[in-house]
Structure formats: structure tokens, C-alpha cells
A and B are shown apart, each in its own frame.
Chain A
């Protein structure tokens, strides 16, 4: 995964919030794709979500427990993407 993001493991990002509302994981993800991703976006996202096989955690909790794309994130929260699509 870090290969897609210029070899960086963690990135502190200041994501602009549009329409004054709460930022969601979906928006954070799209922002990361447009602003941080350096190559092969198809290995990160498929449509408006992550590519199946990429695990997402919000503050170290499975995003399936937080509302997935609709999960809300705020300043200081950590969103983790882990690819499972490599060999074992």
C-alpha cells in the first residue's frame, strides 16, 4: 500500500471539509486518492469505495463496525488501509 503513496507509511493530512459538515471516510478516501496517491489508483479504489481486499480501520477499529463509507472522522482520527492483495 505504501508503494502507491510514494513509499510513505503514515501521512498527516489536513483535509478540507466541504459544506461545513462532518467529514466521512468516503470523502477522506477520495481526498487521499486525489492528493496523496502517486500511482495506480485502481489498486486502491474501485468505484467510490476501496478495492475489495483492502481492509480499512478507523482508529484501529474495523470500519465495518463504524458505518464503512459513512463513518465520520474528525481531527486527530487515524484511518488505516491495509492491502491483503499480495502473496503470503
Chain B
């Protein structure tokens, strides 16, 4: 049973797009996805000509497709961006050392420079050493906070104007759900933003915010992109896994659910944020501040970042 592409009507369809239910052949799928990401970039004005953009690269599917897509679109539409790859070596043996090899091959493939910064250099600890010290609880929480900071520090050291991350639509939908479950109101108000840290010296942008994971994986598979697909050895302990499975179940029942979750979150107005509500509402929200020990930004004024928890 051969179905023809619903767009060119000439080639055999190879996939059904989850968001639109269109059935497309390979070439029409590539064109549609690339155009969609281009429209996202242009529509949200993610970049300006001449900007130096760090592509946060883990060697995984999302960042590999992001590096491929951004170099392609930058050349096709003359964005005028100075792109490079930025990787963080958390020091997780059997995981990050292998994935970094993939990133090094990406450097060759996409002909953009790679910069690697390690937890060991930045903090004096590898993730393996931290886990040995604290056990297997909350690893992803620590690692996430450290990586976020490490990317900022690394990007600043190599004078980037912006960081582009490979967060996809499924990731954003998961985060929305997690913030609802946790009742994290301030984060709920900003977690679906396509640009974060707009006022900071290093904004972060998500060109794949509306791109389904299925399509990223299919794109990588059909284009035979070289990516690393092993789960981090500490990830089975993460709470995010439950939200992830739930999002996949929702998608199986109704593919549009993912983008609908994101669109709903964009409509959230948090009293005290977004110019909604009064001063009392604003005062009731936790305000971001700086860590008392290391001076780095933390989500609550006067609180410490995770350094406190690590024995020094």
C-alpha cells in the first residue's frame, strides 16, 4: 500500500506530521520543517545580523539537528550569524565522554568551531565525583543547575551574544506540566517563552519551541545525521521522566495536545508578573536574587544556589 506525498503528489509519503496530519515525502518533509523553523526564527526575531550565537551542543538528537538546521538556514537566508558549538563536559564517564566525540565530528561536518568547558575546570568537581559524594538523589537537579551556569560562563568566555538551545515542543510541554504539578507560579509564567533572559547579557533562544520531537528524530534519521542516543546513566532517577511519559501518552491520544499545551501556557498571566495585578501580588512572588555564597543568580533573593548542599 503506497501513499503519495500530499504536497508534491509525486513521491511516496514517508511520515505523517503530528501537528498537521499531512502525509509527506522526505524532500517535502525537510522543506516543511526547515521553513517552519525559519518562520519561528523570523516571526519571534530570535536573531540579529552579526550576532555571535553559541549552539548549546550535547551531541544528542536535538542539538545535532539544531546545529544542522541553523547552519543550513543561516546560509540559505543570510541571517549573517557567527555560529559556533558550545559543549559542557559534566564529567560523566561512559556518557558525556562518548557524546563529546559526536560533537567533535559535528564540528567537522558543519564547519563551525567547537568550545568545550568542563565542570572540573569551572567548579573543581566532575559529576561522577558529586554523585559519589551525594548519592543518586537529585542528580539531575544539580546537574541542570550546574550546566545552565556552565553554559552561561562558557558562552561569556568566548564572547557569545546569545545561546541557542535544542529544547523542542515536547520538552516545553513537559516543563509546563511539571510547573503546574509543582505549583511553581513564577516559572509557569515564563517557561513557555521562546526567549529567556532578554534583559541579561546572554539571552537564550529556543528555535525548536514548536518542533515536535518526533519530527526532529525523523529528520535526523532520514538525513542520517550523526547523533548520540544513549540515556545519561543518572537519568532514571529523574522526576521529569513521569511528565515525559504523560506528554507522550497525550500525544498518542491527540497529537495536537503538545502544541496546545504550549499555546495555553503562553496565555498564562501571572499576577505580579507581565504587568498584571498589583504591588501586593508582585510582593507575594519570590524574587530572583543572587546566591549568598557564589554571587551567581539564584531563583530566590537571599537564598543560596546549590553550592550549599555540596560538602566543601
CB pair B60–A88 under 8 Å, yes or no, is yes
A64 on the B face (CB < 8 A): yes
Give, as a whole number of angstroms, the nearest-CB distance from A40 to chain B.
Answer: 10
Q: Chain B nearest CB: distance from A1 CB in Å?
A: 8
- Interchain CA distance A65-B13 in the complex, whole Å: 8
Chain A residues with Cβ under 8 A from B171's Cβ? Answer: 88
| B12 in contact with A61 (CB, 8 Å) | yes
Q: Which residues of chain A are near B230, meaning CB under 8 Å?
A: 3, 86
Specify the chain B residue showing the minimal Cβ separation from A80. B221
Task: Give me 25 A-to-B residue pairs in the complex whose CB atoms sit less than 8 angstroms apart, sorted by A's number.
Answer: A1-B229, A3-B230, A52-B249, A52-B252, A53-B245, A53-B248, A55-B221, A60-B14, A62-B15, A62-B16, A64-B16, A65-B3, A65-B15, A65-B16, A66-B1, A83-B229, A84-B214, A85-B231, A86-B230, A86-B231, A86-B232, A87-B58, A87-B232, A88-B61, A88-B62
Chain B residues with CB under 8 A of A87: 58, 60, 231-232, 235
Interface 1/0s, chain B 164-190, versus A by CB < 8 A? 001110110000000000000000000
Query: Which residue in chain A gives the minimum CB-CB distance to B66?
Result: A88
The verdict on A82 contacting chain B, using a C-beta distance below 8 Å, is yes
The verdict on A86 contacting B15 (CB below 8 Å), with A52-B245, A52-B251 known, is no
Docked Cα-Cα span, A51 to B232, in Å, equals 19
Instruction: Report the minimum CB–CB distance from B90 to chain A (whole Å).
Output: 11
Say if the beta carbon of B63 comes within 8 Å of chain A: yes
Range class of the B interface residue count: 35 or more
A67 to B168, CA, bound (A): 27
Q: Give the CA-CA distance A73 to B218 in the complex, in Å.
A: 21
Q: A67 CA to B16 CA in the complex, in Å?
A: 12
Across the interface, name the chain B residue whose C-beta is closest to A40. Answer: B236
**How many Å lie between the Cα of A3 and that of B228 in the bound state?**
13
B217: Cβ under 8 A from any A Cβ? yes
Contact code string A45-88 (vs B, CB < 8 Å = 1, else 0): 00000011101010011101111000000000000101111111
A73 to chain B, nearest CB (A): 12
Q: How far is the CB of B224 from chain A (nearest CB, A)?
A: 11
4 closest Cβ pairs, A-B complex: A88-B62, A52-B248, A62-B15, A53-B248
Q: Point out the residues of chain B lying under 8 angstroms from A61, CB to CB.
A: 12-15
Known: A62-B16, A83-B229, A86-B229. 4 other contacts (CB 8 A): A53-B244, A53-B248, A85-B231, A87-B235
User: How distant is B175 from chain A, measured CB to nearest CB, in Å?
Assistant: 13
Note all chain A residues with C-beta closer than 8 A to B15: 61-62, 64-65
| Residue in A closest to B12 when the chains form the complex, CB atoms | A61
**Assuming the A-B contacts A86-B60, A88-B171, are A55 and B14 also in contact, with contact meaning beta carbons closer than 8 angstroms in the complex?**
no
Q: Contact at A65–B23, with CB atoms within 8 Å?
A: yes
- The chain B residue with its CB closest to the CB of A72 is B1
**Do residues B251 and A55 form an inter-chain contact, with CB atoms below 8 A?**
no
Interface string of A15-55 (1 = CB under 8 A from B): 00000000000000000000000000000000000011101
Q: How far is the CA of A55 from the CA of B221 in the complex (A)?
A: 11
Q: B119-161: contact bitstring with A at CB < 8 Å (1 yes, 0 no)?
A: 0000000000000000000000000000000000000000000
